[in-house]
């Protein structure tokens, strides 16, 4: 549960904010929601028959907010509830950087979810690369994971690493392949007994969510 809350609290927070809650209220609601997950049976009863975990959590969040509105004015959670450590300032900074458009809370949730999975895959790749310590340093190659790089990037990296452009391109291809594998692992971990087709479909859906455009919030 600690890993779940650490990984996915921002998508929940962004969902709450887009549904109209203030920064402070969204932090409270996010904490309340994870307390409910800890104490409830949703995770125990999760299965493929109930849909993808991403969709299940997003839908359950909607139910939670509806229930929360019905309970406005009631006493907040009891003294025995466990509290989570949420970085409210960082969460709000991320939320204010979300695109300005008419996206609903569900779309914001999906994009935040996709970004979390990409971030986890990247972090896992960085740890793996630092442990092996072989070849061109990850710190030099990591920019080549981005979709677009300056044309001279391989030559610059080759000069810094004291190797050839061909070696840089080969190392970058291996890194991108490993990153895709890491991302698929992260996606598979959110699905119930997934097939290759299930993972393919979810990866496609997440990149669709990332494809939305807009400017930063005022």
The mean per-residue pLDDT over the stretch 11-23 comes to: 89
Question: Measured between alpha carbons, how far is 18 from 14 in angstroms, rounded to an integer?
Answer: 6
| Residues near 85 by beta carbon (within 8 Å), at least 6 away in sequence | none
Q: Above 80 in pLDDT, residue 143?
A: yes
Considering the entire predicted model, what is its pTM? 0.70
Question: Measured between alpha carbons, how far is 77 from 60 in angstroms, rounded to an integer?
Answer: 19
Domain coordinates in residue numbering, the chain: 1-71+83-98, 103-212
Q: Which of 189, 218, 215, 216 is CA-nearest to residue 202?
A: 189
State the pLDDT at residue 214: 41
Burial class (CB in 10 A: 0-12, 13-18, 19+), 142: middle
Q: Please say whether the beta carbons of 212 and 107 come within 8 A.
A: yes
Helices (H), the chain: 2-18, 23-39, 53-70, 88-96, 105-132, 138-141, 153-161, 165-188, 196-210
Q: Which of 68, 76, 92, 70 is CA-nearest to residue 13?
A: 92
Q: Above 90 in pLDDT, residue 181?
A: yes
Question: Measured between alpha carbons, how far is 36 from 12 in angstroms, rounded to an integer?
Answer: 13
**35 pLDDT tier (thresholds 50, 70, 90):** confident
User: Among the listed ranges 83-92, 93-102, 132-141, 151-160, which one has the minimum average pLDDT value?
Assistant: 83-92
């Amino acid at each position: 549960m600690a890993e779940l809350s650490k990984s996915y609290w921002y998508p929940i927070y962004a969902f709450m904010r887009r549904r109209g809650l203030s920064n402070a209220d969204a932090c409270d609601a996010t904490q309340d929601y994870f307390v409910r997950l800890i104490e409830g049976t949703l995770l125990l009863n999760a299965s493929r028959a109930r849909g993808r975990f991403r969709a299940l959590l997003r839908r359950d969040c909607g139910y939670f907010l509806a229930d929360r509105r019905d309970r406005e004015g009631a006493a907040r959670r009891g003294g025995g509830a466990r509290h989570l450590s949420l970085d409210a300032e960082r969460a709000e900074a991320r939320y204010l950087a979300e695109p300005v458009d008419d996206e609903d809370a569900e779309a914001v949730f999906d994009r935040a979810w996709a970004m979390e999975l990409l971030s986890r895959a990247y972090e896992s790749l960085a740890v793996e690369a630092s442990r092996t310590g072989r070849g061109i340093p990850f710190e030099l190659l990591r920019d080549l994971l981005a979709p677009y790089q300056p044309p001279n990037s391989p030559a610059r990296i080759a000069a810094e690493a004291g190797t050839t452009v061909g070696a840089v391109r080969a190392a970058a291809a291996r890194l991108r392949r490993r990153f895709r594998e890491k991302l698929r692992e992260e996606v598979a971990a959110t699905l119930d007994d997934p097939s290759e087709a299930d993972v393919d479909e979810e990866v496609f859906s997440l990149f669709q969510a990332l494809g939305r455009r807009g400017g930063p919030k005022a």
